[in-house]
């Protein structure tokens, strides 16, 4: 065990290089996927068939063929057609195309889910179509699409592991090197999986933050947020009555005290302010 720890410490700079490659692929892939998703997703909501149908075909094509096929196509076939890409661009390109197609579907359905009245109100105010999309529809659709995009972002992170097949030295490749140098499969892969897990967790939390900001900008709270669930639990414990909750807040364990008094009073206070003017 101690030998393993020292060899990991020796290996740390290399591991960090691998993590960097994985992170660059994830973030650049996500950026590319988002651009593709916006273009294709918006095209798919268009009224013009000449925009909608090609976008639909492209999306179904990249969703239907596997990520690995696309990656190998970019890596092995494009050079034969005279386009030389370095492995990094191949990886980013394949990830962006594949997950962009999935995200386009999310963008499309979120835009169509925005309440009908919002569209009608924007038309009634005679906003131009571009303004209607940018100022009214998209901000609401954005808040709706973030949870699904977060799931896809985690999928994309996991998808980056395949780039080790096209000679890129990402985290997966480095883990394999660590396995060969320590000769301890269980140890090295556990370390690697935990690193992936932590990156996924950080990405998930930052997407939650993004969602909170997007919904707050609309003057709403995030559905089923952590604070909301905490409040619901507290109300369930205090059997609903606000008096009960407040008197109960003072006598149980001291650690819960400040938090529990902050939670419920935030609600009625805000509501009271809303009513008075």
- Interface residues with another protein (CB under 8 A)? 60-61, 64-70, 72-73, 76-77, 80-81, 154, 157-162, 164-165, 172, 175-176, 179, 185-186, 189, 192-193, 196-197, 200-201, 204
Residues 154, 198: contact at Cβ < 8 Å? no
- The token pair at 206 is 């930052």
CA Rg value for the chain:
25
Q: How far is the CB of 68 from another protein (least distance, A)?
A: 4
CB atoms under 10 Å from CB of 177, counted, come to 16
Q: How far is the CB of 167 from another protein (least distance, A)?
A: 13
- Distance, in Å, from the CA atom of 204 to the CA atom of 207, rounded to the nearest integer, reads 5
What's the CA angle centered on 206, arms 210 and 236, to 5 degrees?
80
Q: How far is the CB of 53 from another protein (least distance, A)?
A: 15
Q: How far is the CB of 61 from another protein (least distance, A)?
A: 7
- Distance, in Å, from the CA atom of 102 to the CA atom of 36, rounded to the nearest integer, reads 10
Question: Which residue's CB is nearer to another protein, number 119 or number 179?
Answer: 179
Question: Which residue's CB is nearer to another protein, number 34 or number 59?
Answer: 59
Residue with tokens 């659709």: 141
Question: Which residue's CB is nearer to another protein, number 9 or number 69?
Answer: 69
Question: Which residue's CB is nearer to another protein, number 23 or number 68?
Answer: 68
């Amino acid at each position: 065990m101690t030998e393993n720890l020292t060899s990991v410490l020796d290996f740390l700079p290399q591991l960090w290089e691998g993590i960097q490659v994985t992170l660059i692929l994830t973030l650049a892939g996500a950026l590319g996927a988002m651009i593709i998703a916006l273009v294709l997703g918006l095209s798919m909501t268009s009224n013009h068939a000449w925009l909608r149908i090609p976008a639909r075909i492209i999306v179904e094509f990249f969703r239907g063929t596997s990520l690995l096929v696309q990656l190998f196509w970019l890596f092995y076939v494009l050079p034969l057609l005279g386009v030389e890409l370095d492995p990094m661009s191949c990886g980013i390109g394949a990830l962006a195309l594949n997950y962009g197609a999935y995200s386009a579907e999310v963008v499309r359905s979120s835009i169509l889910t925005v309440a009908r009245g919002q569209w009608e109100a924007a038309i009634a105010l005679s906003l131009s179509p571009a303004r209607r999309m940018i100022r009214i529809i998209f901000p609401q659709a954005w808040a709706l699409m973030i949870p699904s995009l977060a799931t896809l972002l985690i999928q994309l992170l996991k998808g980056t592991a395949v780039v080790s097949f096209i000679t890129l030295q990402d985290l997966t490749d480095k883990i394999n090197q660590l396995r060969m140098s320590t000769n301890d499969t269980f140890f090295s892969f556990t370390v690697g999986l935990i690193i992936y897990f932590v990156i996924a967790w950080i990405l998930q939390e930052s997407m939650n933050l993004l969602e909170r900001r997007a919904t707050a900008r609309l003057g709403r709270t995030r559905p089923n947020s952590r604070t909301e669930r905490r409040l619901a639990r507290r109300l369930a414990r205090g059997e609903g009555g606000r008096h009960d909750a407040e008197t109960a807040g003072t006598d149980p364990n001291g650690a819960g005290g400040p938090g529990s008094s902050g939670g419920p009073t935030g609600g009625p206070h805000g509501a009271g302010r809303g009513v008075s003017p």
